[in-house]
Structure 1
Amino acid sequence: MARTRKEIYDEIIAEKNRVQQLDVLSDEKQIKEALSEMAEVQSGSKVAVWRLWLYIVSYCIWLHEQVFDAHKAEVNTLIASAKVHTAGWYAERMLEYQHGDLILLHPDTKQPYYEVVDESKQVVKSVAVTGRGYALVKVKGVAGRLSTDEAQGAEAYLREIQEPGAQLALINLDSDKLTLYADLYYEPELDKATVEAAVRSAVETYISGLDFNGILAVSDLVDYVKDVAGVRDFYITVLRARPDIGTYEDVQARYYPASGWMELEDYNVTPIADV
């Protein structure tokens, strides 16, 4: 980042004060030739000629650094707008999709854009792009699965922005479903119903708090529930999961949601007073 003109000027002043030879020029001829019509270099006057020259020099340096900063910003902007088809690039573009509007391509950058940005039409709220060669583009709306019309529009938009030869598939599914049975050991002096309710809330909060396309880790879920006041232990006896269009399978340590998100479908916890 360019320094301010005052910072540059102060640095020059400090350097001038550091070099004592500038204050002890003994050759009168040298003084006349080098400092003709200038005040003594020891002068503290703000309008001393030597100070005015330093001001001019500092201003030129400052202007030079401003030009470099402007050039750097311009280059960074061009790099940022470059059409690089990474997973992150596709995810950012899908979030910009406006249902009901025609996509345009910039004549210079060839980047997709809309004539008018309207966030109320941006129906895709969560995106995850996974895979190499054949990539899955998982999407989710504000309330879950996109409607049929929205999904068809989003898929057509994806075809418009994909690079030639790229293999992409739009995944728009209802949530993966979970079945969870567990034994809950709680402090007996506390109200059982209150602890049960807090534990269910914790389970649902953990699941809903996962990033889109995040991984459910069994150990993390158990630790999260054990932080609930009154819980001494939480032992999962059954944990199964299924995609929206699949069948249930046992979850051993981790679960990767096919849709990108998940919800509880069957939940049963047996409270046990830990006496």
Structure 2
Amino acid sequence: MARTITEIKQSMTSAFMDDATIQNLYGLDPAYSFEDQFSIVSFESVFFGILALIAWTIESIFDTHKSEVQTLINEQKVPNLNWYRNLALSFQLGFNYDAVTRAFINGTATEDQIQNSKVIKYCSVTRNLVQNKVLISMKIATEQNGEIAPVEDSTGLAFAEFMEQAQAAGDNIGIVNYLPDILGLNFKVAYNPLILNSDGMSILNANYPVQETIKKFLKNLPFNGELIVQDLREAIVKTEGVLRIQELSVQSKWIEPGLGYGLFQPITISKIPRSGHYKIEDWTGIQYIIYEATE
């Protein structure tokens, strides 16, 4: 928004009054303002008024040009998958959305209020062909207690309404907001008894290094990223106190819409989670054994 003529003139006269050379030349008292020491009809006042009018005209022209360019950009922008991802992450819960300007109406909201309203922390967008129709699949999630989690139902409804208003005409978007895929692990850990107890607990720190390694591995996977079994194996083997692992078996189950979780299915090489993220609920599939070398 362009400054007013008065604001522009004020900035000029303030700089004029602060200049030490000008103060000496005119014999000005810096304790008084420009208006206190120059008449409104003085040459200096009229001169700064003309300059302010010229500057205001130029700023107004540039503001108008900027607005016109932004309108053209908004109207001609071609949505792609990354555009949709950024759009989802820009969602503000509790704020109204203006479909014309393609922006949320923040009013007098503080920066903290705006940031706290952006509850979609994770999003992945893919394009799929379903029954000869292009479907844009948008997986979303938030974060609770440091873990990835689905958004609440009321938030999901608000987000769906936002996408209905913001999406490109004709696009078919399916929003995926599911509980995490459940990961099942079964394997044996040959452990170093100098470092770990028989239940996998660190003798020194009283934590469970293998579990922490796996949690960190899952946390570092990109949202909707591919879990590669070989990479998981290598991460576990590098854990302090682990000598070898044997018989690694990985499986997962996921939400089927309207049915709930299905049965565990094996992951032989890799798999992308249906929900976008994994979670482990049961650690009893990990056994700790003493390694014995064979001749």
Q: With structure 2 as the length reference, what TM-score do the two structures score?
A: 0.61
Instruction: From the superposition, tell whether residues 125 and 80 of structure 1 become closer, same or farther in structure 2 (CA, over 3 Å).
Output: farther
Q: How does 1:59-78 map to 2 (within 5 A)?
A: none
Alpha carbons 1:241, 1:250 under 8 Å: kept: yes
Q: Which amino acid aligns with 1:227?
A: K
Larger radius of gyration: 1
Residues 180 and 236 of structure 1 are in contact (CA less than 8 Å); yes or no, is this contact kept in structure 2? no
Which 5+ residue runs of structure 2 have no aligned equivalent? 1-65, 129-133
CA distance in 2, matches of 1:191, 1:163: 56
1:242 maps to which of 250, 253, 276: 253
Structure 1 partner of 2:120? 124
Q: CA deviation at 1:149?
A: 0.7
Find the partner of 2:201 among 178, 194, 213.
194
Q: Which residue of 2 aligns with 1:258?
A: 274
* Residues 99, 189 of structure 1: alpha-carbon distance in 2 compared, 3 angstrom cutoff: closer
CA offset digits 1:124-144 (Å, max 9, x no partner): 111100124201111101221
* Alpha carbons 2:99, 2:165 under 8 Å: kept: no
Alignment partners' CA distance in 2, 1:127 and 1:236: 34
Partner-residue secondary structure (3-state), 1:128? strand
Kindly indicate whether residue 84 of structure 2 is the aligned counterpart of residue 90 of structure 1: yes
Partner amino acid, structure 2, of 1:220 = D
SS of the aligned residue for 1:259 comes to coil
CA distance in 2, matches of 1:150, 1:236: 42
- How many residues were matched structurally? 198
Query: Can you give the 5+ residue segments of structure 1 that lack an aligned partner in the other structure?
Result: 1-73
What does residue 105 of structure 2 align with? 114
Task: Find the counterpart in structure 2 of residue 48 from structure 1.
Answer: none
Aligned identity (percent) is 19
Counterparts of 2:270 and 2:234, CA distance in 1: 14
Residue pair 2:92, 2:104 contacting (<8 A) in 1 also: no
Q: What residue is the counterpart of 1:182 in the other structure?
A: 187
**Structure 2 letter corresponding to 1:212:** F
Mean Cα deviation higher: 222-231 or 113-122: 113-122
Deviation of 1:114 after TM superposition, in Å, equals 3.0
Aligned counterparts of 2:167 and 2:78: Cα–Cα separation in 1: 10
Report the equivalent of 2:289.
272
Give 1:204-215 correspondences, 5 Å limit.
204-215=215-226
Matches within 5 A, 1:217-228: 217-228=228-239
2:11 aligned partner: none
- Asked whether the equivalents of residues 127 and 139 of structure 1 are also in contact (C-alpha less than 8 Å), the reply is yes
Q: So what's the TM-score if we normalise by structure 1?
A: 0.66
**Counterpart of 2:243?**
232
- Paired with 1:80 and 1:128, the residues of 2 have a C-alpha distance of 24
Separation (CA, whole Å) in 1 of partners of 2:218 and 2:226: 10
In structure 2, what is the Cα distance between the partners aligned to 1:130 and 1:190?
45
How far, CA to CA, are the matches of 1:169 and 1:163 in structure 2? 14
Look up the equivalent residue of 2:99 and give its one-letter code.
L
Residues 195 and 240 in structure 2, CA contact (< 8 A), matched pair in contact too: no
Note if contact 1:182-1:237 (Cα within 8 Å) is conserved in structure 2.
yes
Q: Does the C-alpha gap of structure 1 residues 89 and 236 become closer, same or farther in structure 2, counting only changes over 3 Å?
A: farther
Cα drift, residue 150 of structure 1: 0.2
Letter in 1 for 2:201: T
CA RMSD of superposed structures (Å): 2.4
Distance in 2 between residues matched to 1:236 and 1:113, nearest whole Å:
53
Q: Residue in 1 aligned with 2:63? A: none
